[in-house]
Structure 1
Amino acid sequence: MNQFFRIKPFYPACLALLLAGAPAAAQENRFVIEPSGDGFVRLDSHTGEISVCSDVEGQIVCRMAADERRALEEEIDLLEERIAVLEQTLAERPGGPESRFPTDEEIDRTFGVMEKLMRRFLGVMEDIEKDNSGRIPGTDAPDRT
């Protein structure tokens, strides 16, 4: 008998899973599933990811194909390199990596800017109060031109 027509114990479970997700799959047609050896291969038509799936102790387990694993490992290596560069940059900061707070000079400069801003704002508020002090509420300001 042909191997495609032999019914394996986990194929009914696969069929049940496919039928349960039929409405969503019919909308998107995202996954293509083909029998392969002792399991099946699942292709994600949106991302191109290939997974090899099999029945392990009554549960369907899918693992990434070797190509996707290699791409994922390369991405992990790139991220680890970026982390190493960031950690090195952090270690070279004045005060070392434990210094999470700004220096005294940075604090003084920040407060200087804030003080200047507040003085200007309060000056504008005083000017507005002086301009409005002789006015009757509900009337327009006099024409100054």
Structure 2
Amino acid sequence: MKKSSEIGATILRIVLGITFFIHGLTKFQGGIGNTAGFFESLGLPGFSAYVVASIELIGGIALFLGIGTRIISILFALILVGAIVKVKFAAGFLGNGQSAGYEFDLALIAISIYLAIANKSLFALDNIIFRKKNHNSSD
């Protein structure tokens, strides 16, 4: 991977990590019980709000640090697909004046997919972990 591509992937990884961390934090700060109630109103089990918020919070930190980037990115993409299907699709791409559309979610899915298939990004702890693992296996 070229250095410029790694820099781009790093920027995307950090921004996506911060975005999801803040969304997860907001779910807990706003009262996770309220979020669970909203999930139930959508026909989803209430406990799934805890799962989603935890993935967003912990996954956001992990992505920021560059730990488990591929797995976390896939989980984020799945959460976003769920949000589009269950909440945002009915409002349309740009929204309907009462609720947001899915354009932002679609952009985050694209970033997530890119990070899931990208080789690596700079300053990611995965690079250190896998470099040591690969180095030791060649000894």
Same fold (TM over 0.5): no
> Which structure: greater helix fraction?
2
TM-score range, shorter-chain basis? under 0.3
Largest Rg, 1 or 2: 1
> Which structure: greater strand fraction?
1
**TM norm structure 1:** 0.19
| Higher normalized contact order (CA 8 Å, seq sep 6+, divided by chain length) | 2
**TM norm structure 2:** 0.19
